[in-house]
Structures are given as structure tokens and as C-alpha cells.
Amino acid sequence: MLQPVAVGSKSLADYTHIVGRDLIEEIRTLAEPLQGARVVHVSATAFGGGVSEILYTLVPLMKDVGLDVEWQVIYGREEFFNATKLMHNALQGAPEDLDDEQWDTWRRYNEMNARELVDGWDVALIHDPQPAALHALVPEKSRGWLWRCHIDMSSPNPDTIGKLLPYIAQYPQSVFHLEDYVPRGMGGKVNIVPPAIDPLAPKNMALSPEDAAYVCKQFGIDVDRPLLTQVSRFDPWKDPLGVIDAYRIVKEQAPQVQLALVGSMASDDPEGWDFFNATVAHADGDPDIHILNNFNNVGSIEVNAFQSQSDVLIQKSTREGFGLTVTEAIWKGRPFIGGNVGGIPLQIENGISGYLVDSVEDCAARALDILHDPALGKALGRRGKEHVRKHFLTPRYLRDYLRIFTELLEDA
């Protein structure tokens, strides 16, 4: 069989004080007819990235409301993951498609994983392109099938989507973050369900101001001076160089300001390290620019502390998927500035719960507005947090899946 992932236990009741009793009761009502339904989540990996982060909360909550849920990870060697990394980039618009040998590798591993998937499921929920061929290969192994796409496929490489579409279009139902991400020619019923964050996870739970300040001090931050922070991967689409340029404009009028760029790195991602080094070079030794990553012992609690301590949170992306790092930032109740791209405008009402910007100059101007008017910053942060509470927390996400499962099983 495929590799099972061990998850802890969580209780839906623990979220009542955050999301309210009405939503919790709606979830329990939806779950009642699904008691004992056998559900399998199939993904490519159990660590790193947004998919696994979501599943470590979603799977235990599905179990807590009475479903019989497993999360299993497919088998793959380096040749497979090299091919799927290329596929992932091409589906997000990169010009290079897989060659014939790489497509054969993808199909061969899907065939092997299809054989290893045990049967008897009520719902098989397949995540992303890596295992996407499973439904076409072994449709008899589950009553209901659902394909979940976590990436932006709004302008895919035509050759790549042309070869993948026959596999994904035949799923009875699919789920995408945004309407714009659905490729033309997708069959079955398409559901639009934005992702969500776990407000009780270490990265998002409430930290006292004293604890947040203590953690930030360990990394050389002067907690008595204003702080701008961007938390994101070090890649060109997140535009850390543009954030540094915006900070420099801000510093001309607010010389006390500091900047933190916080991101996680993978040891096997040479491109990521190249761009990290380019970011360090762009900072040019400025002692008030703090560039930190997981190799400096920056984990979930540290990210939480930096966000909670900041005067302005930034995500100056020039391209973005949904952007869960944005959701996490807004949830801290701090004023937020984001690039006007991808899923960021879904999460921010410009001028009401944060600011959307299109340039370095815009970003700097909005940051100065906030630094010069603390009451404005507080109001933006409060309204942003309430928007996330209503729309982007895990219990809402669970409710949406229960609705889809109900419909899927009625149709089956």
C-alpha cells in the first residue's frame, strides 16, 4: 500500500471560541450522514509546503467529526520528482514542457502508485498533479473521486496542460482556489474553495506581546523601533529586492525603521539559495536589514513572533497563488500591504483592511501612512483579522469539503 502519514488528534470544539457556535453546529450537522465514510487523501509529500501544512490540521478534524480518514503519500524517486517539479512550473506558465521520457516517468510512477492504492474508499481526494492519473487508472478503487489543485493554472504552458487535461478532466468533481485557476476544458463539477489556516497552530496562535518581543530580540531586532516584515520564500515572484527598495524610501523619512525578510529554504534548492544570496547582496550590509531563514533556527513560533511584533507586514508579490503567508500575516491583526496579484485581493479590501500596491513607490508610501498614523494601522489590522476569521480559517474549509463529499456520494 501507499505510505500512511501519522497525524495527531484535534478537536473541532477547540475552535468554537474563534469561529463561533453556528459554524461548528453546521459542520456537525453536515458530518452526521457521513459517519464512518472512508476517505483517503493522496499527496506527493508529507512535509514542506502548504498542502501538507493544511492536511496536518484537516485530516484530524475530519476524523474528529466521525469520518474514517487516512492520508497516504505516493512513492517516487528523484527522476519522478524532477519531472513533476518541471510540470508544476510549466502549469504555472513556465515555457519548458516535460520531454517524452519525463512524461513516461510520470505515467510509470502513477501506474505503480495506482497498483499500491488499496480499494474500498468512499472518497479518494487526490492532491495536485503528481498523482493526478490515479482516477483514470483505477476508478473502481473508490466510489467518489475528487481532484484538488493547489496551484495557479490560469496561464499554463499549452503543451503541458494539453497532456495533463485528459487525466484531470474526467474526475467527477475538482476543487480550485480561484475561478481564474481553472483550465479551459476541465470536465466534471468544478468547486471553488479557497484554502485556510489553522488559528491554533504554533505559527498562528496568540502570542503575548512580551513573548513576541523576547523572540525578536534574540535575532537582533530593536523592539523599541518600528519594524517592517515580509515572510515568504526567497524567489523572484515574492520580490524581496523590491521590499528592500521600498524600505530604503521609507527610511529617508523614518530613519528609525528596520526591515526583516524571513523565509524558509530547502537544502536541495540551488535556485532558492542563489536568490537568497542575491537578496543579501542587495541589502548591502545594512545593519537594519535582517535576512533570516530556517537555517538560522527560524521556525513557526519565530515567524509568529516577527509578524506579531511588526508595525507593518508586507507581501510585495508580483505573482502569487492564493498566498497563505498573506492569510497568516493578516490573522496577526497587524496592518498589511500586499501586491495586487493572485489571491491577495481576495483577502484584502484596499484601504479598509489593508493596502494593495503595484510598485515599490506605492508600497513605501502606504508604509509611511501607517507608521505616521498608528490609529490607522490598528483599524486596518482589526478589520483584516475579522475578514480572515470569517472566511479563511480551517473550520470553514472543513465545512466546504463536507458539502462536496455529500454531493459526491449522492451522485455516486
Q: What is the model's pLDDT at position 141?
A: 98
Compute mean pLDDT per 10 residues along the chain, 412 residues long, and list them: 95 98 98 98 87 94 98 95 93 94 98 98 98 98 97 94 98 95 95 96 96 98 98 92 98 98 80 91 98 93 98 94 92 98 93 97 98 98 97 98 97 90
What separation in angstroms does the CA of 342 have from each of 154, 158, 177, 310, 394? 10, 20, 10, 24, 21
3-state secondary structure at position 293: strand
* Cα torsion angle, 152, 190, 399, 70, sign: negative
> What's the length of the chain?
412
| pTM exceeds 0.75 for this model | yes
- CATH 3.40.50.2000 domain span(s) along the chain: 3-196+393-411, 209-391
Which triple of cell numbers denotes residue 148? 484538488
CATH T-level fold of 3-196+393-411: Rossmann fold (3.40.50)
Q: Say what the pLDDT of residue 266 is.
A: 72
Class of domain 209-391: alpha beta
Angle at the Cα of 304 (from 70 to 222), degrees rounded to 5? 160
Distances (CA, A) of 389 to 16, 58, 95, 200, 393: 12, 17, 38, 12, 6
Task: Tell me the residue ranges of DSSP E strands in 119-223.
Answer: 121-127, 142-148, 173-176, 189-192
Question: Does residue 379 contact residue 179 with C-beta atoms inside 8 Å?
Answer: no
Report pLDDT for 331.
98
Under 8 Å between Cβ of 363 and 389: no
pLDDT at residue 49 in the model: 74
Secondary element (H or E) of residue 388: helix 374-391
Model confidence pLDDT, tens digit, residues 52-79: 989 999 999 999 999 999 999 999 999 9
Neighbouring residues of 84: CB distance < 8 A, sequence distance ≥ 6: 44, 76, 106, 129, 130
pLDDT at residue 265 in the model: 82
Q: Report the alpha-carbon distance of residue 134 to residue 167 in Å, rounded.
A: 8
Q: For residue 214, what is its C-alpha cell? A: 523576547
Distance between CA atoms of residues 67 and 277, nearest Å: 46
Give 136-147 pLDDT, tens digit per residue.
999 999 999 999
- The span from the CA of 159 to the CA of 257, in Å, is 48
pLDDT of residue 320: 84
pLDDT at 235: 87
**Cell match 492532491: residue?**
127
pLDDT, position 264: 84
Q: Per the structure block, which three cell numbers stand in for 407?
A: 454531493
Specify the long-range contacts of residues 268-277, CB closer than 8 Å, at least 24 apart.
Answer: 271/235, 272/233, 272/234, 272/235, 275/234, 275/235, 275/236, 276/234
For residues 53 and 115, what is the distance between their CA atoms, to the nearest angstrom? 27
The C-alpha atoms of residue 355 and residue 367 are separated, in whole angstroms, by 9
**Alpha carbon distance 338, 137 (integer Å):** 42
Nearest in space to 188 (alpha carbons), one of 171, 167, 175, 176? 171
